Chains A and B, each alone.
Chain A
C-alpha cells in the first residue's frame, strides 16, 4: 500500500502509540477481558514488527543506505526529520522484535503478576513504551529524542512499579529509577539545550555542521559542557558502570515480561543514543581525539565487564544475577563502540542484537520459573532440569551464549570485539574481555550444575513445564541467537555497514 510505504518511519511510532491509547478505550468498552487486552497488544506489536522489517528492507534497498522522512512534510532544518540508516534500522529490529516476542510471552505471565482489572492499562503503557523506544531510535531530531525519551522512561517506571503485586520492593525500585532517570533526562535536556544555543538547530546532521562551522569549537567551553552533560545523562540511561545502580533493582522486581523486554531493549537504545550523539553530532574526532572520551568510556566499560560480573557470581536471585550480567554485557557494547574501529564497532552493534536475543530468552525462562514456582532463587533451580526441561534447556543455551561459546551468537560478538581490541592495540582490554567470559562461566556454571546435575531437594514443589506461549516466545529468541551464531552473515553484514557508516559520518 503506497500510504504505508510512504510513511513507514513515522508509522512504526504512531501504530504502537495509538494502539496503546486504543487499548484503554477497548478496556473501557468491553470490560477487562484477559485475552482481549493481550490479543490487541499482540496484534499491534506484531504489526509494528512487520513495519520495522519493511523499513529495514527499504534501507537495504536504498542506494545510499538511509531513508529520510519529513514529519508533516516540513523539510530538514525546520520540521522534524526521521532518518533510518543501517545502524538504527538494526536497533529498531531489536526493539520491535523483542517487543513482539515479549508480548506473546506476556499472555500467561502478566495475569499471574498483575490484577485482572489492570490488564488494559498495563498493555496500554506497554505499547507506549515500545513506541517511545522505537521513536528515540528512528528520529533525527534531538528534541524529539528528548520527548520520546521521556515517554519511554515514564512508561518504564510505571511498568516496573506494576511488579508490586508480586514483590512490594518493585515500588521502591521504580522510585529509585524515577529519581535517577529524571536526573539523567534533565542532563540530556541541558546538553541538547546548550547545543541548540550554539548551533540554532535541533536536527542532528545540521547540529554537526553547525558545530564544525564554529571556528573554535574544539576549544569551546560550551561544547565541552554540552558533551559532559549528555554523556553523563546517557551513561545513566544505558546503565554504564558506575552509573548503573538503578538497574539491578528495577530488573529484579519488575514483572517478568517487563524485565525481559526492558533488559533487551531499553539499555540498548541508551547505548545507541550515546553513540549517535558522539559520532553523528560531535563527530568522533571531537569525542575521541580532542577529548579523551575514549579513555574514560573504555575504563568505564572495562570496569563494567569485570565488577558487575563479579557481583553477579554472588547473587542468589537469578533475575538479579542476570541483571548484573547485563551490566557486564553493556560494558562489551560500549567498549566496542569506544574502540572506534570497524571491527570493534561491528562487534558492539552485532552484540546489541545478539545480547537482546540471548538475555531476553534467559529472562523469559526465569519468568517461566517464577510463573510456576513463584520466585527464582538459585536454590529453586536445584534439579529443575528434570521438571522443566524445555525451559531450562533454553536457559542453558542462552547461558552458553553469554559465555561466548562458539556456534552461539555470543561468540560472534566476542570474535569481532577481540579483533577490535587487538587492532587498536589495547592488550589489557583483550584480557578484560576474556576475563568477562571466564566470570560468565563462573556464574553460569553454578546454575548449570544445579539445574542438571543436582537432584531436587526433599519437598521441592512439584512443577510442570511452562505454558506453550511462554515456551514458544522463549525458544524463538534462543533459536534466533543460535541461528545467528552459525549464519552470522546477515547480522554481521548489517553491523559492518552500520559501523562504517557511523565512522564515515563523523569525519
Chain B
C-alpha cells in the first residue's frame, strides 16, 4: 500500500491488538498459504474418488438427445486437469489486476471531473433576474 496517502495509525496510548503484531500477521499469512496448498492437493483425492465434471449432460438432455450428444472436448478436459480450478483462480486474478491497472490509465480522472460543471445555475439565475423587467 502506498502509505503516503494514509494518515493516522492507532491513536497514542491504545493497546495494540492481536492483529497489530507483525508476528501474528506472519502466522496468519503462513496459515493461509498452507490452507491453499491443502486445497490444491485435494485434487489428489480425485485420483481415488471420481471427479464429477461440470460438463455432464443434464438428465433430460441425455434421454432426449442421447444420439446427437457429444461434449465439447476442450472444456471437459481442461476442467478435469489436475489443479485446474486453482490455476484458473490464481491466473485469473493476476490477469484481472494487471488489466485493471491498464484500465486505470484510460479512465482515471481527478475527483472533480464531473462536479466542476455544477457551478453555473446560481449565476444564471441572477443574470435572469437582471435581464428581466
A residues apposed to B, CB below 8 Å:
316-317, 377-379, 382
- Which residues B101-131 have CB closer than 8 A to chain A? 125, 128-129, 131
Q: In the assembled complex, which residues on chain A have CB atoms less than 8 Å from the CB atom of B129?
A: 316, 377, 379
**A-B pairs with lowest CB-CB distance, top 5:** A316-B128, A316-B132, A379-B129, A379-B125, A377-B132
Q: Bound state CA distance, A379 and B132, in angstroms?
A: 11
| Chain B residues whose CB sits within 8 angstroms of the CB of A379 once the complex forms | 125, 128-129
Alpha-carbon gap, A357 to B129, bound state (A): 30
Sample (5) of A-B pairs whose CB atoms are under 8 Å apart:
A316-B128, A316-B131, A317-B132, A377-B128, A377-B132
Which residues of chain B have C-beta atoms less than 8 A from A317's C-beta? 132
Which residues of chain B have C-beta atoms less than 8 A from A377's C-beta?
Answer: 128-129, 132
Most buried by A among B125, B129, B131: B125
Q: For B132, what are the chain A residues with a Cβ–Cβ distance below 8 Å? A: 316-317, 377
Q: How far is the CA of A379 from the CA of B130 in the complex (A)?
A: 11
CA distance A377 to B129 in the complex (A): 8
CA distance A377 to B132 in the complex (A): 9
**B125: shortest Cβ distance to chain A, in Å?**
5
What's the least CB distance linking B45 to chain A, in Å? 60
How near does chain A come to B132, taking the closest CB pair, in angstroms?
5
Q: Could you tell me the distance between the alpha carbons of A314 and B28 in the complex, rounded to whole angstroms?
A: 64
CB distance from B59 to the nearest CB of A (A): 47
Please name the residue on chain B nearest to A317 by beta carbon.
B132
Cβ distance B122 to chain A, nearest Cβ, rounded Å: 9
Q: Complex Cα distance A208/B35, Å?
A: 95
CA distance A294 to B33 in the complex (A): 79
**Which residue on B lies nearest to A169, using beta carbons?**
B133
> Roughly how many angstroms separate A317 CA and B132 CA in the complex, as a whole number?
8
Q: When chains A and B are docked, how far (Å) is the Cα of A448 from the Cα of B129?
A: 18
Least CB distance, B129 to chain A, in whole angstroms: 5
In the complex, which residue of chain B has the Cβ closest to the Cβ of A446?
B121
Docked pose: A377 CA to B125 CA in angstroms: 10
| Shortest beta-carbon distance from B127 to chain A in Å | 9
Nearest Cβ on chain B to A454's Cβ, whole angstroms: 10
Chain A: minimal CB distance from B15 (Å):
47
Q: A243–B13 Cα gap in the complex (Å)?
A: 81
When distances are taken between beta carbons in the complex, the residues of chain B under 8 Å from A316 are 128-129, 131-132
Specify the chain A residue showing the minimal Cβ separation from B129: A379
Q: Give CA–CA (A378, B132) in the complex, Å.
A: 11
CA distance A382 to B129 in the complex (A): 13
Most A Cβ at <10 Å: residue of B129, B131, B132: B132
